[in-house]
Structure 1
Amino acid sequence: MSLKIRLKPHEKVLIGHAVLRNGDKTSEFHIENKIAILREKDIMKEEDASTPGERLYFLIQLMYIDGDNLVKYHHTYWEQVKQIVSAAASTRQYLEEISSLILEQDYYHALKAARRLMEYEKCLVSRIPDPTEG
């Protein structure tokens, strides 16, 4: 079964190691084999990864698209997980889900789970009172 992708005009998509940019019209195509695919909206640039959850997402993205360096990425991932859990133990359930997917080498779904962690992280930060107020 193939994966159908529909791109808006000028939308970018990462397929394997190639970045494709659509032309002036909406395009539809089918991917017939298993390969890493990320739409432009799901791609995080390293400079945009400013929170612990975002850095974790970026690292998982690297695992997904650059399988040649998995050992390095996995090592960094587990170090970051330890730091996040020690700073915010309430993230444990999110990190367990992500870690399970990482161990299954299901990086695409790990990215989706990391997005949920990032949303939770926003909630945590929004509840922290500003120390300069008061």
Structure 2
Amino acid sequence: MALRIELKPGERLIINGALIRNGDRRSVFLVETPCRFLRESEIIREADADTASKKLCVTLQVIYLDESAAEAENLLVLQSTEILKAIPGSAPYLVAIHDAVAAKQYHLAIKTGRKLAAYEDELSR
């Protein structure tokens, strides 16, 4: 079954490491083979990663997009340990992230990472 992706005018998409930008009209793509992709709305740029949880999200993106991300997986463990020390209430998020990565459910891991970043942001207010 094909994956249907709709892009807004000018919206970006990463597919298997290639950055694609849509033209000036809404477009629909059907992806018929397995691939690794992230929509622009799902991406946290490294320059925007101003908290520990957002940095962890960037690491999750690297793990997902790079097939040989052993260094990034090691970094994920280190970042998780530091976040857990600073925010003990983050444990459920971190367990869910690590379980998702172990199961190769990278979109779920990234989504949970974004929830962790929102939780961290809420605590800092």
Give the fraction of aligned pairs with identical amino acids, expressed as a percent.
34
Which residue of structure 2 aligns with residue 112 of structure 1? 111
Which residue of structure 2 aligns with residue 9 of structure 1? 9
Please list, as runs of the form range in 1=range in 2, the aligned pairs for 1:1-134 lying within 5 A after superposition: 1-68=1-68, 70-126=69-125
Q: Which amino acid aligns with 2:113?
A: A
- What is the number of residues matched between the two proteins? 125
Q: Which amino acid aligns with 1:77?
A: L
Give the secondary-structure state (helix, strand or coil) at the position aligned to 2:124.
helix
Q: Which amino acid aligns with 1:100?
A: D
User: What RMSD over aligned residues (CA atoms) do the two structures have, in Å?
Assistant: 0.9
Per the normalisation by structure 1, the TM-score is 0.90
Question: Structure 1, residues 38-81: CA drift from partner, whole Å, max 9, x if none?
Answer: 1111112111111011000000000011112x210111110111
Shift of 1:33: 1.5
Q: Which amino acid aligns with 2:86?
A: A
Shift of 1:7: 0.8
Shift of 1:120: 0.6
Shift of 1:31: 0.7
Question: Structure 1, residues 70-106: CA drift from partner, whole Å, max 9, x if none?
Answer: 2101111101111111111100011010110011121
The runs of 5 or more residues in structure 1 that have no matched partner are 127-134
Distance in 2 of aligned mates of 1:24 and 1:123: 36
Distance in 1 of aligned mates of 2:96 and 2:66: 21
